[in-house]
A and B are shown apart, each in its own frame.
Chain A
């Protein structure tokens, strides 16, 4: 199947070069009688217009914001789109981006997790204390950090899903508790330096400088996308169901290929492909698959759409909710390790509320609905790319953090307004 209007559309979001909105407009398998096949650029634009008016925005707004951000900063400072800066952005997005991917799971349920910032700070401290201060083996410290994140998420999920405390309150309490616990764990030392050895340190300093690898990965990603789309399509047409025309498969594949190869070229021009970015992409692709192609993901979307209907279908709503919070906690821990790696230390300011706000903002800017039931992990990637681009651009043109907060806040507000408006418009057009 092609996602179409079904939950999320990674195929669309993946191809950041073109908008998912455009593509999804033409991918309406089984296109009902009310939807005559439209051909050519004109029909394309018209159906895009239809979709935007009726509030089905997909990844369109975030891609536009990203392009606008890039154009504005490039015109203010010609170093903005340099391979060096883009490569730095690609590493900077990984920590908060992974936290945002975890939050997507909770947002899809129509809930929110305010504790992720504190959780990522706490788990990073647990790692640093075990590895640096106590001299435990690094793998043990990493596993402990991840398990703590999972355990914290599970506890919070239990209080929400089983006990029935609103998630907002549970995780707000968590924000304070885990932050306090982090300060306690760090103790008098305050800041723990990581040094430059070890696996975690290498997470953000390791680059693979090999043209073969960079372009090979781009080719692999494009090829995998093509093969999957082609196979789905062939299975559909064999079963006598409406399938995509060949030219459209080619077009979509091109939509994936263009940004992939552009990224490979830019990264190769500086220091090569960052390990951190690869890990991030593996998480995004893997969890997108989980959300859209597995029973578990279908349950998350169902609960976000109508929890009571999900319960009556025999879905274990409590367990699924707890697992989503556990996922959020675990990914907060993973993100925390990358953030630690980036600054090579853990301190009292680790896991600040800025991280929390950026992670939620990223997911929402990327198109995850705060009302639940709509969004993909690609939203987190695209959203954090916008936020980090703004942050990086502000630094480049020498503006202080104060302005940066205000601009990011403005973008977030814009995204939420868009979410609400698109929801209202979908209602108006009988789509929500």
Chain B
């Protein structure tokens, strides 16, 4: 992968009051590549994702899109570049129906009027809805009536609908059953083969092992290693996440004796 990355982050910082949530984050992702973002709770994974999608813009740092520096200050900026996200808290409007949620922010209109028929037809053809709900979904019920797994499908469907070049997913399988998770991972594979760049946040290292090409580890808001997933063991990633390779004991062991004097 020597081509220009779709997205490259350099020195991304984000601060919430006294808390430095992200410090000098570096990350690259290429088209047709799945990068898993792993780390313990509070490592800054979701914060980084929100900086990429413009939901919570970064304070400092450079974001490059296809080699060109860009500013992502609002969700709209990210959408226009071709970035779509699925958030951990799903971010759906419960009072709107499934179609309304799927197309929110990019509705299909005809002469300024919502074209409900066209939107519903596209919604019914949408793969995540078809495979992730066991039967043909009723797309005209308010999202409030749906189960957690169905909502997750709607959120994923929403993100895929815009045919993004970069798809960022925050714990997308959290509410899915075993069979649905398998189908979802197949979907990720297919999107990757179509050239979509995918960034996946997951606690489930099984999922990471199954689909990711690269894994980037965050720890205390900093980069803590990159791994080529197929050639790395589970344990190596876990120790990087927990910091087993980065503590007083291991540091002491690697320091030359002379320095200690």
Which of A's residues lie within 8 Å of B, judged by CB? 1, 4-7, 28-33, 35, 232, 235-236, 239-241, 293-295, 298, 301-302, 304-306, 308-316, 373-374, 426, 430-432
- CB <8 Å contact, B105 and A313: yes
- CB <8 Å contact, A314 and B74: yes
- CB <8 Å contact, A309 and B104: yes
Write out the residue numbers on chain A whose beta carbons fall within 8 Å of the beta carbon of B176: none
**A235 contacts which of B75, B96, B114, B117 (Cβ < 8 Å)?**
B117
**B120 contacts which of A1, A35, A301, A311 (Cβ < 8 Å)?**
A1
Q: How far is the CB of A309 from chain B (nearest CB, A)?
A: 4
**A6 contacts which of B74, B97, B137 (Cβ < 8 Å)?**
B97
B80 and chain A: residue at smallest CB distance: A314
Does B121 lie at the interface of the complex (its beta carbon under 8 Å from any beta carbon of A)? yes
Q: Measured between alpha carbons, how far is A294 from B113 in the docked complex, in Å?
A: 5
Q: Measured between alpha carbons, how far is A1 from B98 in the docked complex, in Å?
A: 13
- CB <8 Å contact, B91 and A312: yes
B76 and chain A: residue at smallest CB distance: A314
Excluding A6-B100, A240-B121, A312-B55, 13 further A-B contacts by CB distance (< 8 Å) are A7-B100, A30-B120, A33-B138, A239-B117, A298-B96, A298-B107, A302-B96, A306-B92, A306-B95, A314-B76, A314-B79, A316-B76, A426-B144
Does B233 lie at the interface of the complex (its beta carbon under 8 Å from any beta carbon of A)? no
**A304 contacts which of B76, B87, B95, B100 (Cβ < 8 Å)?**
B95
State which residues 109-137 of B face A: CB under 8 Å: 109, 112-114, 116-117, 120-121, 124, 135, 137
Q: Measured between alpha carbons, how far is A426 from B142 in the docked complex, in Å?
A: 11
- CB <8 Å contact, B140 and A5: yes
Q: Measured between alpha carbons, how far is A293 from B100 in the docked complex, in Å?
A: 11
Q: How far is the CB of A361 from chain B (nearest CB, A)?
A: 22
Write out the residue numbers on chain B whose beta carbons fall within 8 Å of the beta carbon of A30: 120, 138-140
Does B187 lie at the interface of the complex (its beta carbon under 8 Å from any beta carbon of A)? no
Write out the residue numbers on chain A whose beta carbons fall within 8 Å of the beta carbon of B113: 293-294
- CB <8 Å contact, B96 and A311: no
Q: Measured between alpha carbons, how far is A170 from B34 in the docked complex, in Å?
A: 48
B92 and chain A: residue at smallest CB distance: A309
Q: How far is the CB of A301 from chain B (nearest CB, A)?
A: 6
Q: Measured between alpha carbons, how far is A232 from B118 in the docked complex, in Å?
A: 11
Does B210 lie at the interface of the complex (its beta carbon under 8 Å from any beta carbon of A)? no
Q: How far is the CB of A368 from chain B (nearest CB, A)?
A: 12
**B93 contacts which of A295, A306, A430 (Cβ < 8 Å)?**
A306
**B75 contacts which of A31, A32, A305, A311 (Cβ < 8 Å)?**
A311
**A5 contacts which of B75, B87, B141 (Cβ < 8 Å)?**
B141
- CB <8 Å contact, A312 and B95: no
- CB <8 Å contact, B94 and A432: yes
Q: A295-B109, A313-B75, A313-B104 are in contact. Are A431 and B145 (CB under 8 A)?
A: yes
- CB <8 Å contact, B117 and A298: no
**A301 contacts which of B90, B93, B112, B117 (Cβ < 8 Å)?**
B93
Q: A30-B138, A298-B107 are in contact. Are A432 and B93 (CB under 8 A)?
A: no
- CB <8 Å contact, A305 and B138: no
Q: Measured between alpha carbons, how far is A236 from B79 in the docked complex, in Å?
A: 30
State which residues 186-214 of B face A: CB under 8 Å: none
The 9 closest A-B pairs by CB, nearest first: A313-B105, A32-B138, A305-B93, A1-B116, A305-B95, A373-B95, A309-B91, A314-B105, A314-B76
- CB <8 Å contact, B95 and A7: yes
A54 and chain B: residue at smallest CB distance: B145
Q: How far is the CB of A291 from chain B (nearest CB, A)?
A: 11
Write out the residue numbers on chain B whose beta carbons fall within 8 Å of the beta carbon of A309: 90-93, 101, 104
A6 and chain B: residue at smallest CB distance: B97
Does B53 lie at the interface of the complex (its beta carbon under 8 Å from any beta carbon of A)? yes
State which residues 56-105 of B face A: CB under 8 Å: 74-76, 79, 85, 87, 90-97, 100-101, 104-105
Q: Measured between alpha carbons, how far is A31 from B138 in the docked complex, in Å?
A: 7
Q: How far is the CB of B212 from chain A (nearest CB, A)?
A: 24
Q: Measured between alpha carbons, how far is A306 from B139 in the docked complex, in Å?
A: 19
Q: A1-B120, A33-B135, A314-B76 are in contact. Are A308 and B141 (CB under 8 A)?
A: no
- CB <8 Å contact, B140 and A6: yes
Write out the residue numbers on chain B whose beta carbons fall within 8 Å of the beta carbon of A374: 95
Q: How far is the CB of A172 from chain B (nearest CB, A)?
A: 27
Q: Would you list 9 pairs from A and B whose C-beta atoms are within 8 A, ordered by A residue?
A: A232-B116, A239-B120, A294-B113, A298-B107, A298-B114, A305-B93, A310-B93, A431-B142, A432-B144
- CB <8 Å contact, B91 and A306: yes
Q: Measured between alpha carbons, how far is A73 from B75 in the docked complex, in Å?
A: 55
B87 and chain A: residue at smallest CB distance: A312
Q: A295-B109, A305-B93 are in contact. Are A310 and B55 (CB under 8 A)?
A: no
Write out the residue numbers on chain A whose beta carbons fall within 8 Å of the beta carbon of B106: 314
Q: How far is the CB of A219 from chain B (nearest CB, A)?
A: 24
Q: How far is the CB of B3 from chain A (nearest CB, A)?
A: 28
- CB <8 Å contact, A239 and B144: no
B143 and chain A: residue at smallest CB distance: A305
Write out the residue numbers on chain A whose beta carbons fall within 8 Å of the beta carbon of B95: 7, 301, 304-306, 373-374, 432
Q: How far is the CB of B168 from chain A (nearest CB, A)?
A: 12
Q: Measured between alpha carbons, how far is A301 from B103 in the docked complex, in Å?
A: 13
Q: How far is the CB of A295 from chain B (nearest CB, A)?
A: 5
